Structure 1
């Protein structure tokens, strides 16, 4: 990594003496950020001053929250620059002091030589007040704009799903069914979007309307990409949301616009997002909203009806095997019939796919239900895993079904980023079109319910989760506040880069790579004596819905046990195994032949899908924790090597994951005694050389 060894402190105006010495240095990162902002253009002193403060704040806020100092490559600055890392904007005098310390650095940026940034100090503070929250580093912003699921844990900076907001190429990652660290491609795209946004906001000031237009255009850009990618009618048929769970809340808000109390029929509630049943009922599903508001979990969000009901429908039998689709549909039908008899409107979820790859109920049966109860059922496809071809989403929309998608599951973009795609009649509902028909349809049966305050517009409490620009332009969305979720924007920009790379790979090549990958993974899972694959591995062609391979893990004692049905890990032990696979376990390898190679193998973080609770008689308490290895867009996107070569590398990585898993089972007691935590990024990627010889920045 480059350092500032040998640099002359006097040449940089005391920047190094104004902050704690670090590696890579504050100065090196500052220059890199400035060069990216200037992009070779000559600017005025006022713009140069803004670039200086923006670049220095990004470097000061380089490290994501929770990452221990030992893992940091750039520690927080001290002296006059320390205030740049604060949440609040420094007072004018402190900001002026920062500018004086930083201004001489411009002599080292070719485009800014001869520009006196101090002449731009007059407007610096009011500009900083307007944009302060948009100036931290890419990694810091990626971890913002969501509920506490985004928060990094103390020590390693990883969230509760075992991922962070920085690329970790050293991880053997097969956890797209849960979450993924951003790739170098996704992170670079998010960084480029942040730089472009900061550059534009620096030029827009003091025209506040122009600044508002800039952030609105950024949101529209993402919505336009998603509309084109998934086949929605227009960007105005896309709602952006901070997660798939937030999408569920938005869908219920739209369904409730019809006036009747709502019953949600939810197949596979245990195999969708854990907060979906609450969000679908218009209840807070976390203790913090996407806008950072402290809320009471499970309390009704202001403006939603407490009469909203969620009815789960099982998709697995008591022994854990999947139910027949016709049986799931029959249970859904019974619940729908009962709800309609009570004068309630129905929101029926279609899982495509669940956490373990199930599709329930079948589309033909759902279509028949819609024809049987015209105008009384809204259908919502839970496609948050996005394990279907993009054009299939468009086919759902043409049926009149809304679709929830994310960019952070199959497409392995930064978590969390969700979108609700609207069919035409849902979009018309927002605009109040066909209002007379809606009122007639509601009928006298709901008169008392309306008197009790069922929503006739979007719930006001939705404003704690969504900004107005994230929704289509419509009168009912006027209750949503103006604002901009920079974290959501950057996460989607990272995901869009992955999606674009996926579609750039020819369809036949993608299918070929998927077949090779899943067949190879199924083969090695079947061959491993300590796991039990929960699907048939005998097939030549795989569908995208089948791209999650779910397996049970035998208990540590199973190897010695002499019985036909050995015990499998329950949820508690599966959670511990999942966590330990991500830890450096080299300290647990005893001395002896092969110890060096084994230590290297078990030191590598391995990330698989989090355990899913499945009924299983062989598990303690009757509930097993099933782990998952999933294909992602990264595994089927063509890179430099041919399909066979690249897939062989992925399969070998799965073999390493399983060898580490067996090691954990063999040394369970000694590992459990110390309970190691997942690894943070072993090399901070700010100045890591990329394949093109270029570097990434904050």
Structure 2
């Protein structure tokens, strides 16, 4: 436990992670989210979201349970923490329909999962080659990260086995880019595969696949083990490489390649999730992006072939001691006995609170009928292009076509729920620094007394933070999340029936366009004056 259980919920629910969760003087963190519910049109779930009222109510129940146990004794608090973590794993597995054979490890955020996946991969390589000569049994790992600029900002750093923030979940301090464990870092070579060209346009799938195959081939020729990332719906909705490409690689090199599916966005089908696990892929997901739980809450799903063995003895060369600052014993399955001994013995109250809220959001999402969810998603993916293609200065980024047939290649791809757009002022595309300022202004009221669009300008719209591209431009993102789907499906205060509530959604998108065009007109006027 890092802070007193008697602290405010807002302080506790942001504990046990890193500086990204710390709220500033305006009550918002660096992503523009609050630790508590906020009156905002939530269209930024591709980054994170402020919690809903029913999510926070669930977190409050968990906090009360922990406080009662702590009042009883330290032992009771420890036991209750273990029970709660197991309950979170069990409920998550039930909601996502995960087979009992799959191990689930909780993490403070999606970025932290990278460290755990890397450590398990190294454990696998040592196990596979334990009977070989020493030089071969200590094979290095080539970690292939696809679309590095379009996954979590800390992902490429954590994938190298390095600290990505100065504040660790344990509360300890660190230096960014320093090794979590020197021996682990020495074993890892990061290779990245870009998914866009210099102008921000998506590369053909065949080209991305070819680059991945080339890196895999070179690594195996050099007797390295490969940890290959599949990105299942990244920040801008892309899925790469293709599952056909990955299937061929794992068929040809079953003992030389470990696959991890980066499904952190949560924009996947439960069927696709099960299919990936059946293929013996590691899969990580969060409860804090699409599903709308408070930032952040991650987990790693581990199929039987990649699970640690109870009899394995671990030392620093097999398991990085530095992970004890990121993960606690209670967050991993009880039968990971030797690993639990090397993880933190502190209790991550913040992570339990965030996951309690996230599970409530996941439950609410799947309580909505399939028919209603599909209707809302289809409305969104039609309304966004229709609304924003008519805005001068707003340029929608191209997206993958929606997958209708679940048997097509991208089994993990959901409907189109993320749209990126760039902004052009006086013929020039805005850069990331400028769009960060716009992101903040869109997320707060613009006070004006003489505009006929006053109500739209004063409304708060939380969008996904800008994603940078190689040409110096950047794109903000409009994302439909689970919490918004639940609101449209159930909230009679915004419409008497689903049709009326879908009209409400279209109205919100029009009002967002109005606010954007106000900022564009303002910027053009300043540019003209200069």
TM-score for both structures, normalised by structure 1? 0.68
Question: Structure 2 CA distance, aligned partners of 1:226 and 1:172?
Answer: 27
Q: State whether structure 2 residue 241 is matched by structure 1 residue 361.
A: yes
Number of the residue aligned with 2:325: 464
The CA deviation at 1:236 is 6.9
User: Against the structure 1 CA distance between its residues 479 and 352, is the aligned structure 2 distance closer, same or farther, given a 3 Å change threshold?
Assistant: same
State the shift of 1:515 in Å: 0.5
Aligned residue in 1 for 2:516 = 661
- Per-residue CA deviations over 1:526-578 (Å, capped at 9, x if unaligned) read 122221112369989796252101111121x3xxxxxxxx3221222211211
Aligned to 1:184: 53
Bigger helix share = 1
- Do 1:612 and 1:626's aligned partners in 2 also have CA atoms closer than 8 Å? yes
Instruction: Name the SS of the counterpart of 1:611 in structure 2.
Output: strand
2:438 maps to which of 577, 592, 595: 577
1:601 alignment partner in structure 2? 456
Aligned residue for 1:412?
A: 292
Unaligned runs of at least 5 residues, structure 1: 1-129, 436-452, 558-565, 616-621, 673-698
Number of equivalences:
498
Higher RCO structure (Cα 8 Å, ≥6 apart)? 2
Cα 1:481–1:571 change in 2 (3 A) is: closer
Deviations 1:172-220 (A, max 9, x none): 2200011110011111111122122223333xx23x4333211110111
Quickly say closer, same or farther: Cα 1:361–1:491, change in 2 above 3 A: same
Structure 2: distance between partners of 1:250 and 1:648:
44
Partners in 2 of 1:298 and 1:389 — Cα distance? 34
How many angstroms apart in 1 are the aligned matches of 2:105 and 2:94?
A: 14
CA contact (8 A) 1:407 1:495 kept: yes
The structure-2 alpha-carbon separation of the partners of 1:372 and 1:540, relative to structure 1 and needing over 3 Å to count, comes to closer
- Post-superposition shift, 1:666? 1.9
Q: Matches of residues 534-549 of structure 1 in structure 2 within 5 Å?
A: 534-535=397-398, 544-549=414-419
1: CA distance, partners of 2:363 / 2:154? 30
Aligned equivalent of 2:179: 300
| Equivalence for 2:466 | 611
Unaligned residue ranges in structure 2 (runs of 5+) = 127-138, 406-412
Does the 8 Å contact 1:241/1:417 carry over to 2? yes
CA shift for structure 1 position 378:
0.5
- TM-aligned CA deviation for residue 132 of structure 1: 6.5
Task: Report the 3-state secondary structure (helix = DSSP H, G, I; strand = E; otherwise coil) of the residue aligned with 1:166.
Answer: coil
Q: Which secondary structure does the structure 1 equivalent of 2:428 belong to?
A: coil
Shift of 1:670: 9.1
Question: Per the alignment, do residues 532 and 165 of structure 1 end up closer, same or farther by CA in structure 2, a change over 3 Å counting?
Answer: same
TM-score for the superposition, normalised by structure 2: 0.89
Distance 1:282 1:382 in 2: 17
In structure 1, the partner of 2:104 is 238
Contact 2:403 2:414 in 1 (8 A): no
- 1:422-571 to structure 2, matched below 5 A, reads 422-427=302-307, 429-431=308-310, 456-472=317-333, 473-474=335-336, 475-535=338-398, 544-555=414-425, 557=426, 566-571=427-432
Partner-residue secondary structure (3-state), 2:190: strand
SS at match of 2:20: helix
Partner of 1:692: none
User: Partners of 2:152 and 2:419 in 1: how far apart?
Assistant: 18
- CA change 1:549–1:541 in 2 (3 A) is farther
TM-aligned CA distance change 1:131 to 1:315, over 3 Å = closer
Instruction: Tell me by how many angstroms 1:477 deviates.
Output: 3.1
Offset at 1:309? 0.9
Aligned residue number for residue 272 of structure 1:
151
Q: Distance in 1 between matches of 2:355 and 2:3?
A: 21
User: C-alpha displacement at 1:431, in angstroms?
Assistant: 3.2
Aligned: 1:167 with 2:27: no
CA contact (8 A) 1:468 1:480 kept: yes
Matched residue SS, 1:198 = helix
1:261-410 equivalences under 5 Å are 261-302=140-181, 304-410=184-290
Return the alpha-carbon distance in structure 2 between the equivalents of residues 455 and 343 of structure 1.
22
Give yes or no for contact 1:516–1:644 (8 Å, CA) kept in 2. Answer: no
| Deviations 1:591-613 (CA, angstroms, capped at 9, x unpaired) | 65xx3x53443222221111111
Find out whether 1:421 has 2:276 as its counterpart: no
Deviation at 1:455, TM superposition (A): 5.2
Distance 2:81 2:468 in 1: 41
Could you tell me how far apart the structure 2 residues matched to 1:421 and 1:196 are?
Answer: 27
Q: Hey, what's the Cα distance between the residues in 2 that align with 1:538 and 1:340?
A: 34
- 8 Å CA contact 1:190, 1:494 repeated in 2: yes
Match of 1:95 in 2: none
Q: Secondary structure at the match of 1:348?
A: strand
Q: 1:460, CA displacement in angstroms?
A: 0.3
What is the CA–CA distance in structure 1 between the aligned matches of 2:289 and 2:443, rounded to whole Å? 19
Change (3 A) 1:267 1:261: same
Cα 1:577–1:361 shift into 2, 3 Å: same
CA displacement at 1:346 relative to structure 2: 0.7
| Distance in 2, Cα, partners of 1:210 & 1:424 | 32
Aligned partner of 1:225 in structure 2 is 91
Change (3 A) 1:379 1:545: farther
Aligned partner of residue 4 in structure 2, secondary structure: helix
Q: How much does 1:362 deviate? A: 0.8
Alpha-carbon deviation of 1:229? Answer: 2.6
1:354 and 1:385 in contact (8 A); partners too: yes
Q: Distance in 1 between matches of 2:458 and 2:440?
A: 13
The structure 1 segments of at least 4 consecutive aligned residues displaced by more than 4 Å after TM superposition are 453-456, 536-543, 669-672
Partner Cα distance (1:167, 1:506) in 2: 25
1: distance between equivalents of 2:91 and 2:432?
Answer: 39
What is the CA deviation profile of residues 30-81 of structure 1, one whole-angstrom value per residue up to 9, with x for unaligned ones? xxxxxxxxxxxxxxxxxxxxxxxxxxxxxxxxxxxxxxxxxxxxxxxxxxxx
- Which residue, out of 179, 195, 220, partners 2:64? 195
Which secondary structure state, in structure 2, belongs to the residue aligned with residue 623 of structure 1?
coil
- Cα distance change on mapping 1:319 and 1:262 into 2, 3 Å: same
Deviation (angstroms), 1:270: 0.9
- Name the CA shift for 1:287/1:574 in 2 (closer, same or farther; >3 Å): same
